Copies of this chain bind each other. A is one copy, B any other.
Amino acid sequence: ENRYRIVISCPDQPGIVAAVSEFLYKQQANIMESNQYTTDPDGGSFFLRIEFECQQDGDTQQQLEHGFQQIADHFKMDWQLVRVRNLKKLALFVSKELHCLQEILWEYESGHLMADLSVIVSNHEDARELAKSYNIPFYHIPANKDIRQQAERQQLELLEQYNIDTVILARYMQILTPGFLENYKNNIINIHHSFLPAFIGAKPYERAFDRGVKLIGATSHYVTSDLDEGPIIEQDIHRVNHKDKAEDLKRVGRLVERSVLMRAIKWHIDDRVIVFGNKTIVF
């Protein structure tokens, strides 16, 4: 169909919505959903996401982009125009814990994940069979501290080969270097198995158990070079009690991880998430 989304960030000033919506009107677009937010009336930042239908024939997207460039330049916009039917291509990076991968595959199979699952990459063999059963290419690229550079070179080649838009770290337990990250800025989504900023780093469930918390959480965020410090997309928690051992926290936490990562991915592929400094606007 002819559905599009335009997502805009720029310095706030009067007239932006008017200019954008007049442009869309002249393209005979019909706006389906629009969300706008300004951080501060005085010198703040302006964010806009519009989903619209445009019934024109021919190469509409290029026309739209071309026509819009003038407005974008005028208002100094960071912007993106996306055709909804051009699904984002995702690469899933996993390690040995497969519950997040499985949730993603499941939603994908049931038709509720509007993206291409193009490739699964792992530093272990555990996910191979699962990938195969869903007919998704699987690549085993060993990775650890000592061979990080080589591994990332292979990974980047794969991502290029598959024309990947977004990398999902679905419990991929390796650190990525800044060199890798800069290729996919604001397009690498991680799930951390704690309520950030609590329990940054390794073994969060064990540390949550040791601290005696009454709720355990999970956080999905864009990856930056600061470990577990990137812009948070979504968080959620589940209640635990004194009877729960570290092993129980892990088990309960898996459910939270699955649903938090899933929501983050869906918002991302729906272009609902805009990164602003170290935070996200989620429309």
Contact = CB atoms under 8 A, between A and B. Distances in A.
Interface of A: 12-22, 24-25, 28-38, 41, 48, 53, 99, 102, 106, 110, 112, 133, 195-199, 211-215, 217, 231-237, 241-243, 251, 255, 259, 276, 278-282
Max chain B C-beta neighbours (<10 A), residue from A195, A214, A276:
A214
Contacts of A112: 251
A4 B165 CA distance: 40
Contacts of A232: 211-214
A196 B198 contact: yes
Interface of A is mostly: mixed
B212 A242 contact: no
Nearest to A236: B215
A135 to B, nearest CB: 14
B235 A214 contact: yes
A212 B273 CA distance: 13
Contact of A242 (B110, B215, B279): B279
Contact of A235 (B24, B28, B215): B215
A275 B80 CA distance: 33
A234 B214 CA distance: 6
Contacts of A255: 259
B14 A25 contact: yes
5 contacts: A14-B28, A17-B31, A20-B21, A195-B198, A214-B235
Nearest to A97: B110
A13 B37 contact: no
B243 A33 contact: yes
Contact of A18 (B18, B32, B197, B251): B18
A48 B21 CA distance: 13
A47 to B, nearest CB: 9
A105 to B, nearest CB: 11
Max chain B C-beta neighbours (<10 A), residue from A29, A32, A236, A259:
A32
A54 to B, nearest CB: 10
A246 to B, nearest CB: 12
